[in-house]
Structure 1
Amino acid sequence: MKMLVIYTYPNHKSLSYAFLQKVIKGSKENPNIKELQVLDLYGEDFNPLLVFNEHKRRRDMHQDPHFEKYRKQITWADKIVFVYPIWWGRPPAMLMGYIDQLFAANFAYRDNKGLLPEGLLKGKSVVCVSTMKGPTNYPLLWLNNAHKILMKRALFHFVGIKKVKFFEFGNMESPKGKQIKKLEKVYRYFKKVDR
């Protein structure tokens, strides 16, 4: 299995970075994972801003040479792992800008004149590892599970990715947040996971 990890947080002394390190450590100890690439969106200075004008059209995003490296990473990967915080009930703007530009028509999906498009990323799987200040059940009880619906139904299922797993960790700024236990849970998962 080839795995791409997309990390979205600007601080390398953060809990999000500690989760990234546990993903990497577990993956390197997993015999099912043959190759691993890490994409640090802040480290790359990835530009999340969409620009459309007379020279750059939305319908041409799937062949924009600026994003060729990132398209190759997505195509290459069997499993894509996203590590990010939940801010205001959703992923950071940096990650959403990456998704807006990379999960483009004629790369991630194709319109077929029907109700739903054809997903072009079939056969891949996704894991989302996210942290938040609020309680773990906050997105479910207060936001009607908006984060998971956005990521699973509106994005991943739309592009053909059916196997999606979430780790949503709440209370991460609390001294009683069980951070070490949650870090170990992620490490153990990636040490054993297959497709």
Structure 2
Amino acid sequence: MNILIVYAHPEPHSLNGALKDFSVQHLQAQGHTVQVSDLYAMDWKAPIDATDSLAAPVGPHFHPSLDSKHAYANGVQSPDIAREQDKLRWADTVILQFPLWWFSMPAILKGWIDRVYAYGFAYGVGEHSDQRWGERYGQGAMSGKRAMLVVTTGGWESHYSPRGINGPIDDVLFPIQHGVLHYPGFDVLPPFVVYRTSRMDEARFADVRSALGQRLDTLATTAPIPYRKQNMGDYMIPALTLRDEIAPGQSGYAVHLDASQ
């Protein structure tokens, strides 16, 4: 299997660095081919701007989505963007690894998404009609591929429990897992989360590493999070709201899970 790890931590000798190195070694030992996009080591440019296209803006001023669309369609994207898109095409599985900073991914990883997910590549694709609303949320360029988050956080597991003060971890990660990954078509695996990272001794690190190894061994077989697919009848189009008979009276993130899957 071809596996891409998109890694966002500035310190190679951190817990994240050790886990990333372990993942690469473990996956390669199992016969997988691994590429790593180490964003800090690459000095990845996070902001999206006019330099992301080798051509001049198509209008009187820079328009992020329209210029992204033109650059992608005409082969004039910045080379760093095109290289990362090639990695995504190559990969069977993508792992996003990062520390949870202020309830989201580090800015450098968000910038990777902003720039690499070009209009026409990851969004803005497919038919928009009364029957379909684009190739997204279960369809799209990443269909048939798998993705998983490897996340570290200083908070305790109880802080991210259903009644924890930070909110349930599935809710905290919903914009990334459902939006960034499910939107362009990935089958999204349950995340691997390491809590209370400031309390990490050798014995606990060995346990974490063993648990991560087990998750890596089952990348191809773990059941994905059962997100509903947009164009398969659960949502009214073009309103894109759930049909009244589905999860009646309920709202929130959980209604976008199909318990029958």
Quote the Cα distance in structure 2 between the aligned partners of 1:108 and 1:129.
Answer: 22
SS at match of 1:89: coil
In structure 2, which of residues 74, 78, 90 is the aligned counterpart of residue 65 of structure 1?
78
* 2:173 partner amino acid: K
Q: Is 1:143 aligned to 2:184, yes or no? A: no
Quote the Cα distance in structure 1 between the aligned partners of 2:156 and 2:147.
Answer: 24
Supply the RMSD in Å over aligned alpha carbons.
2.3
8 Å CA contact 1:89–1:146 kept in 2: the answer is no
Quote the Cα distance in structure 1 between the aligned partners of 2:218 and 2:179.
Answer: 28
8 Å CA contact 2:82–2:116 kept in 1: the answer is no
The percentage of counterpart residues that share the same residue type is 21
In the alignment, structure 2 segments of 5+ residues that lack a partner are: 51-56, 222-261
Quote the Cα distance in structure 1 between the aligned partners of 2:171 and 2:134.
Answer: 22
Quote the Cα distance in structure 2 between the aligned partners of 1:91 and 1:116.
Answer: 28
In structure 1, which of residues 149, 152, 162 is the aligned counterpart of residue 187 of structure 2?
162
Structure 1 residues 116 and 181: CA distance shift in structure 2, 3 A: farther
SS at match of 1:127: strand
Give per-residue Cα distances to partners, 1:154-187, cap 9 Å, x unaligned.
1211101123231011101025793321122112
Partner of 1:24: 24
Aligned residues: 193
Quote the Cα distance in structure 2 between the aligned partners of 1:103 and 1:147.
Answer: 22
8 Å CA contact 1:84–1:129 kept in 2: the answer is yes
Partner of 2:214: 188
Using structure 1 for the length normalisation, give the TM-score: 0.88
131-140 vs 113-122, which deviates more?
113-122
Quote the Cα distance in structure 2 between the aligned partners of 1:158 and 1:192.
Answer: 23
In the alignment, structure 1 segments of 5+ residues that lack a partner are: none
SS at match of 1:165: coil
172-181 vs 123-132, which deviates more?
172-181
Quote the Cα distance in structure 2 between the aligned partners of 1:164 and 1:100.
Answer: 22
Question: Which of the pair has the greater relative contact order for Cα pairs under 8 Å at 6+ separation?
Answer: 1
Larger radius of gyration: 2
Structure in which a larger fraction of residues adopt strand? 1
Q: CA deviation at 1:39?
A: 0.9
8 Å CA contact 1:71–1:102 kept in 2: the answer is yes
